[in-house]
Structure 1
Amino acid sequence: MIIEQRIYELRPGSLHEFLKTYEAEGLAIQTRAFGRLLGYFTSEVGELNRVVQLWGFDSFEDRNRRRAALSAQPEWRAFLGKCVSMVVSQRNELLTPTAFSPIQ
């Protein structure tokens, strides 16, 4: 298994609008394509105006296939059009669990 950590830095003041739009429109689309949402978080201290997503995939190839399928969906592209102005930056990391990680 690999875990993709996606971190979005949002324009100050847009966090609640982003979360509301994502929950109402983006979450179902992305969950259908990816399947394994491990967690969705906001930051309370430190770097603010951020959301962090953790998605689980069977392999790097599984991730690539699922991402391509998601990107091909017109409804996903329409959702992105609503949120792109709220996002300042995005960072992705692919994480591999250790042998003793509770998430495998």
Structure 2
Amino acid sequence: MLIEHRTYLLHPGKVPAYFNLYRGCGLPIQLEYLRQPLGYYTTEIGPLNQIIHLWGYSDLNERQQARSRLKADPRWNTYVAQLMPLIQHQESKILTPAPFYTPQAVSYRMD
């Protein structure tokens, strides 16, 4: 399993507008193509005005196929056009588990 860690830096004061737009438009469309997010957060301490969300995939191929289907949906493109003025910067990272970690249980090897 891998995790996509997406961070959006919003313009100051735009977090409520982002969440309203996302809940009403973006999330319902995403859930047709992507799995349920593993987490969806906003920052309170440190860099502010950030939205961080985590998505799980079995591999990069699954991620690419799911996101390609999502991007082909005209409703998604309309949503993104409304969302982009709220965002200053976007970053996406792919996280892979450490060799001693499994998502179901943590096991540490001593060798």
For residues 73 and 97 of structure 2, what CA distance do their matches in structure 1 show?
Answer: 30
- 2:8 aligns with 8
- 2:45 aligns with 45
CA shift digits 1:4-25 (9 cap, x unpaired):
0000000011110001110111
Using the size of structure 2 for normalisation, the TM-score is 0.88
Q: Secondary structure at the match of 2:101?
A: coil
Shift, 1:102, TM fit: 4.2
Greater Cα shift, 69-78 or 92-101 = 92-101
CA 22–103 in structure 1, closer or farther in 2 if over 3 Å, else same: farther
Paired residues, number = 104
CA shift digits 1:34-59 (9 cap, x unpaired):
11310000000100000001000111
Instruction: Calculate percent identity across the aligned residue pairs.
Output: 34
1:72 aligns with 2:72: yes
Shift, 1:100, TM fit: 2.3
- 2:81 aligns with 81
Using the size of structure 1 for normalisation, the TM-score is 0.94
Pairwise CA RMSD of aligned residues?
Answer: 1.4
For residues 47 and 61 of structure 1, what CA distance do their matches in structure 2 show?
Answer: 32
Shift, 1:103, TM fit: 5.9
Shift, 1:88, TM fit: 0.2
Between Structure 1 and Structure 2, whose CA radius of gyration is higher?
A: 2
- 1:35 aligns with 35
CA 61–75 in structure 1, closer or farther in 2 if over 3 Å, else same: same
CA 103–70 in structure 1, closer or farther in 2 if over 3 Å, else same: farther
Q: Which runs of 4+ in 1 moved over 6 A?
A: none
Structure 1 unpaired stretches of 5+: none
